[in-house]
Structure formats: C-alpha cells, structure tokens
Structure 1
Amino acid sequence: MSSVLQGLTKSLAMTVLSEIGDKTFFAAAILAMRHPRRLVLFGCLSSLIVMTVLSALVGWAAPNLISRKWTHHITTLLFFGFGLWSLWDGFTEEGEAEELAEVEAKLGADWKADTETTKKNNKEDDDLKKLKRPFLSQFFSPIFLKAFSITFFGEWGDKSQIATIGLAADENPFGVVLGGIIGQALCTTAAVLGGKSLASQISEKIVALSGGVLFIVFGIQSFLSTVDS
C-alpha cells in the first residue's frame, strides 16, 4: 500500500507541475472558448488518460526488457535531466508566451479552415454531408475527436510523458497511473473552466522552478535508494 501511495503522490505532483502552462493546457483552454466545454473536457481528458496508461505500461514493461538496475539508473538520470531542463526554462522565462502564441496560431489556422469547411458544407444536401463525414465522426462528435487528437499528439514525446514512463519503471505502476489521472483531471478541468486567465495569473517562472526542484528531489531520492537486481 505504501508503494502505491508513494507512486501516486510522486505522479500527482509531477503531473500538476508539468502540465500547468503546457501546450496541451493552453489547447484545452482555447478549445473550450470556442466549443462546448463538456466535449472539450471529455476529449482532452480521455486522451490524457490513454497517454498516462500507455506510458505507465511502457515503464512497467521496461524492467522486463532491461535489467532493474539499469532502468533505475536511467530513471535517476531522467529526473536530474528534466529537473535541470525545468530550472533552465524557469530562469529564461520565455516558455509561456511562446507556447501560448504557438498554440493560438495552430488552433487559429484550424478554426479558420473549419469555418470555411462548415460554410461550404451548409450549401450541400444533408444526406450528402453525412456520407462525406469521416467514419469515426458518425459515432463521436468532431469536437471530441479534435480535442482528443490535438491533446494526444501534443503530449506524445513530451517531458511529462517520458517522466511518467521513468516513474512507472521505478515506482508502483498502479499508483503512478492513479496519480497521473488525478493530476491530469485537475489540470484539464482548470484549463477548460478558465485556463487562459488562470495561466496569466500564475507565474510561469515559479511553476517551472518548482517543477525543476521537484524533479531534482526525485533524482536525489532515486540516487540514494537501493534497487534489487
């Protein structure tokens, strides 16, 4: 039980400090300003849960492919590396403006394209529109699919995903998944309910520095802990 709790607390803290002000955080906030919040929340959160579970599964399987000792050392190096990366982002203090501008530009282009497509489709017959719709959108809302795909591919290969893999390799995977899901739910809900204004009130520098310190602490703890071969 203690191993589950340790994995949960580490994963929860890491997720919250990694996701606030992240690309997917801003994407959820901007999408929620243009589409129904319920669909955006459902799409973004579903994507993040799938990503968390997949990452934890990879981390859980890693010790079966590589020795436990090596996965422990790699995880320790990842924690130190991400800690220094976050501290660097905090001291340079350029991340938030660049991330927000990049996400707004990307979603703005998509929004314009969607608007033009909608105007064009409005002139067509309803039956013809139904036939032209992608197969999945017959069963899922296009807004859900958009929120899911933007979040999934935006999170793929991100620092938090790799850190989740490393954490699951070193801690109880169930605790890591549970903590990650709780953290993702908190961050995504905050983003959908008013993430853009919330992010403007929270110092990106403080978040980045806090995340960096947390990763360094995880790295020190991992370095000092013993591991069974």
Structure 2
Amino acid sequence: MEAFFVSTTTVALAEIGDKTQLLSLFLAARFRAPIPIIFGILVATLLNHGLSAWLGVWITEFISPQTGQLLIGISFIAVALWILIPDKEEDASSKLNRYGAFVATLVLFFLAEIGDKTQIATVILAAQYQQFFLVTLGTTIGMMLANVPVVLFGNQLMQKLPLNAARYAASSVFMVLGLLTFMF
C-alpha cells in the first residue's frame, strides 16, 4: 500500500500548476462539459501512466539493484528540482474541437503527459516499488485529485491556490524520496 499512497500524494502535489492542469482549465473553459473532460483525463492518464509504470518495472530487469537504486535516487532529486520550474500554458490544437470534449481531452492530455514530470515520476515510482498496478492506480488518482477540481471549479480555484507553496511541497516530497533511496 505504500506504493499506492506515495504515488497518489507525490503526483497530486506535482500536478499543481503543471501544464496538464492548465490544459484542464483550458478545456473546461472551451468545452464547458465537465463529465466528458473528466473521463478524457481519466482514460488518457490510465493509458499514459500504465505504459510508464510498465516501463519502470521492466527497466529494472536490465540493471543491477545497486545501479537501479542510484538511478532512482538521482531521478527523484532531478524531478524535485524540475518541479520548481513553473509550467506555462501551451496552445491546444483547435482541430480536435470537432471531435468533442472527450476525444479532445483524451488526445491532448495523453500528448501533454509525454515527457512530463508526472510521467517521469510514474516510471521512477514503478521502478522503486515494483508495483505496476498500485503505482498506476496511485498516480492516476493523484492526477484526478489535482485536475477534477480544476475542471469543476476552474477559475475560482486557481485564484486561491498558492501555486508556489504547492510546487515547493511537491519538490520536497521528491527530494526526501531521493535522499531516502540513497540511505536504504
């Protein structure tokens, strides 16, 4: 269960102020259809993070445990530092508008997650815990915890949320995980 709780917490915190959260706000404003957007986020995240968790578990078959621990520790610390860099809203393709809120969200969210810090975190967490299902479930719930309120409450929520505090909290969690990896 540790893999689930750590995955949920770290991704929920790391997602605050992330480009995919800004994308959620953009999609909510554009389509004004929260249910299809929420389901699009869910499916995109399950696909993206499922593949990422699989990669994290798979890659540990090819490296020694000591090398794996070193890479995981360094990766946690790198993500901690990366989180401190604020994301900017990226322009979404208007060509997807004709397919509706669900398809637009599914495609844009999946693509936005490629190479994103939460995707990288999912790979690292799966490599660390060797728990494909619990890490995928945890990171997906973390994404939903951070993005569903944005879809539902959008502008009001973003005006009251201290993004820098959330960014520092998420960075601290990853830094601690990185340091603990070196210690054990």
TM-score, with structure 1 as normaliser: 0.73
What amino acid is aligned across from residue 112 of structure 2 in structure 1?
G
Question: CA-atom RMSD, angstroms?
Answer: 1.9
Q: Does 1:80 align with 2:77?
A: yes
**Alpha-carbon distance in structure 1 between the residues aligned to 2:121 and 2:17:** 17
Task: Encode CA deviations 1:89-131: one digit per residue, 9 max, x unaligned.
Answer: 3xxxxx26xx1xx33xx14xx44x678xx7xxxxxxxxxxxxx
**CA 1:65–1:146: 2 relative to 1, 3 Å:** same
Once the two structures are superposed, the pairs formed by residues 31-50 of structure 1 within 5 Å of their partners are 31-35=27-31, 36-50=33-47
| Aligned-pair CA distance for 1:174 | 2.5
| Mean CA deviation greater in 170-179 or 214-223 | 170-179
**Alpha-carbon distance in structure 2 between the residues aligned to 1:19 and 1:184:** 7
4+ residue segments displaced more than 3 Å = none
| Aligned-pair CA distance for 1:71 | 1.8
Q: Is residue 26–residue 196 contact of structure 1 (8 Å, CA) maintained in 2?
A: no
**Alpha-carbon distance in structure 1 between the residues aligned to 2:37 and 2:82:** 30
Q: Does 1:62 align with 2:59?
A: yes
Which position in structure 1 is the counterpart of 2:12? 16
**Alpha-carbon distance in structure 1 between the residues aligned to 2:48 and 2:174:** 20
Which position in structure 1 is the counterpart of 2:148? 189
**CA 1:76–1:114: 2 relative to 1, 3 Å:** closer
SS of 1:64's partner is: coil
Q: Is residue 60–residue 173 contact of structure 1 (8 Å, CA) maintained in 2?
A: yes
Which position in structure 1 is the counterpart of 2:172? 213
What amino acid is aligned across from residue 49 of structure 1 in structure 2?
L
Q: Does 1:158 align with 2:116?
A: yes
Higher relative contact order (CA 8 A, sep 6+): 1
Structure 2 runs not aligned, ≥5 long: none
Q: Is residue 82–residue 117 contact of structure 2 (8 Å, CA) maintained in 1?
A: no
**CA 1:148–1:216: 2 relative to 1, 3 Å:** same
**CA 1:195–1:149: 2 relative to 1, 3 Å:** same
**Alpha-carbon distance in structure 1 between the residues aligned to 2:70 and 2:77:** 11
**Alpha-carbon distance in structure 2 between the residues aligned to 1:205 and 1:79:** 19
| Aligned-pair CA distance for 1:183 | 1.1
**CA 1:26–1:64: 2 relative to 1, 3 Å:** same
**CA 1:114–1:219: 2 relative to 1, 3 Å:** closer
Task: Encode CA deviations 1:125-181: one digit per residue, 9 max, x unaligned.
Answer: xxxxxxxxxxxxxxxx53322111111111100111111101100113332122112
**Alpha-carbon distance in structure 1 between the residues aligned to 2:3 and 2:25:** 28
What amino acid is aligned across from residue 166 of structure 1 in structure 2?
I
TM-score, with structure 2 as normaliser: 0.90
What amino acid is aligned across from residue 11 of structure 1 in structure 2?
S
**Alpha-carbon distance in structure 2 between the residues aligned to 1:59 and 1:195:** 33
Q: Is residue 28–residue 154 contact of structure 2 (8 Å, CA) maintained in 1?
A: no
Number of aligned residue pairs: 182
Structure 1 runs not aligned, ≥5 long: 90-94, 119-140
